Amino acid sequence: MTPVNENFAKLPGSYLFSTVARRAAAYQEAHPEAELIRLGIGDVTKPLVPAVIEALHRAVEEMGRAETFRGYAPDLGYAFLREAIAAGDFQARGCDIGPDEIFVSDGAKSDSANIQELFGPEARIAVCDPVYPVYVDSNAMAGRCGTYDPEKEKWDRVIYMPCTAENGFTPALPEEEPDLIYLCSPNNPTGTALSRQALQGFVDYAGRTGAVILFDAAYEAYIEGEEIPHSIYECEGARTCAIELRSFSKNAGFTGLRLGYTVVPRDLVRNGASLHAMWKRRHGTKFNGAPYIVQRAGEAVYTPEGQAQIRAQIGGYKDNARILREGLERAGYQVFGGVHSPYLWLKAPGGMTSWEFFDCLLTRASILGTPGSGFGPSGEGYLRLTAFGRREDSVLAMERIAGMEL
């Protein structure tokens, strides 16, 4: 019999979004007149901005002419995009990152799932709890997480770093020493962001222990002010201990177009091996490059028009987040996040569980959220709402919540 990867059998079912969809469909069938407001999904709703659309059109035309046709893209990304990224996202913030340290990809989901391939099977990972599930599941598939305990909803080889209201959603440095530390800031799902001091603390810790930090900055564009670092390379010492993951999904609406990148500095070396060289090798072997037209679209994001247009779009989502946050606070709820992030992390009132509160919002206000417990045990008692919907829906949702009896 052909052996299969037994690690897949250890994975708990991923019931979160399918259960949410099933309950929403059942409710809608029973109440066809109800106008559901969907504040559960993490997908954008606004169309691509004009600068991106124009770049796409131009690139499509080029692909239709023999003189300008492009075949396989360079597997690490076109120089025009890597240079725009290095200048716009890093050098403009004083970060010492060059174009040759940027690896263009089809998005941060693939990168955040694939990056673990650089590390040995015995490497211990540390993750925040609650957490974006891809980090844990990709390591579980690689056999790095041990055994899953359905009672505790935890893997026995994973080091969990609880993020709770008590610690301001800033995880303490792990007591057990991990080899890999996954951090996401601004965070999905809690909507909170790590301060410069907290992130520097993790960089110093990794510098001391030799751990590698995998820093997911997919929501970087939502950061306000100068207090919160946009990149881990704003921290001293990060070039020798950190990899950063970025996405064009939430800043420029590329969820359906697909584009992202990973930064692996040349200085990042473990056990005598250059992680930069290893990722280059891995990318070259397993990836044939993001499409030319999509990379041209990505380049357009960094033009002055592109920047102005995406800033306006992000501003619209941030406005929704403000409407939700203020509405919820007015209605007496305890709510976190939603300032440097499109996500709000809402405490279920009266000791309700995440699913009880989910049902309550669905049946009494026809509002769809995402139960926090689906992101990890420390998410129990919370619900995630997103600001990616339409403004009028955000306003209407808050009117319904204000009039809702618990």
Ligand X SMILES: Cc1ncc(COP(=O)(O)O)c(C=O)c1O
Residues lying near ligand X in the complex (CB under 6 A): 42, 107-109, 112, 132, 184, 188, 216, 218, 247, 249, 255, 260
Which 8-state DSSP code applies to residue 90?
A: I
- Say if residue 349 is preceded by a cis peptide, omega within 30 of 0: no
Q: Minimum distance from CB of 253 to ligand X (Å)?
A: 10
Q: Minimum distance from CB of 132 to ligand X (Å)?
A: 4
Q: Whose Cβ is closer to ligand X: residue 107's or residue 171's?
A: 107
Q: Whose Cβ is closer to ligand X: residue 133's or residue 327's?
A: 133
Residues 6+ apart with CB under 8 A from 170: 163, 192, 194, 195, 198
Q: Minimum distance from CB of 68 to ligand X (Å)?
A: 28
Q: Whose Cβ is closer to ligand X: residue 42's or residue 327's?
A: 42
Q: How many CB atoms lie within 10 A of CB 26?
A: 11
Q: Minimum distance from CB of 260 to ligand X (Å)?
A: 4
Closest CA to 338 of 88, 39, 136: 39
Q: How many CB atoms lie within 10 A of CB 8?
A: 10
Q: Which two tokens stand for residue 294?
A: 């999509």
Secondary structure (3-state) at 212: strand
Rounded distance between C-alpha atoms, residue 391 and residue 98, angstroms: 39
Which 8-state DSSP code applies to residue 88?
A: I
Q: Minimum distance from CB of 8 to ligand X (Å)?
A: 21
Q: Whose Cβ is closer to ligand X: residue 185's or residue 200's?
A: 185
Instruction: Name the helix (H) or strand (E) containing 40.
Output: none
Q: Whose Cβ is closer to ligand X: residue 262's or residue 366's?
A: 262
Q: Whose Cβ is closer to ligand X: residue 249's or residue 309's?
A: 249
287 alpha-carbon distance from chain centroid: 21
Q: Minimum distance from CB of 128 to ligand X (Å)?
A: 11
Q: Whose Cβ is closer to ligand X: residue 48's or residue 360's?
A: 48
Crossing angle of helices 292-301 and 304-330, in 10° steps, is: 70
Q: Minimum distance from CB of 218 to ligand X (Å)?
A: 4
Question: Residues 202-228, buried b or exposed e (16+ Cβ, 10 A)?
Answer: bbebbbeeebbbbbbbbbbbbbeeeeb
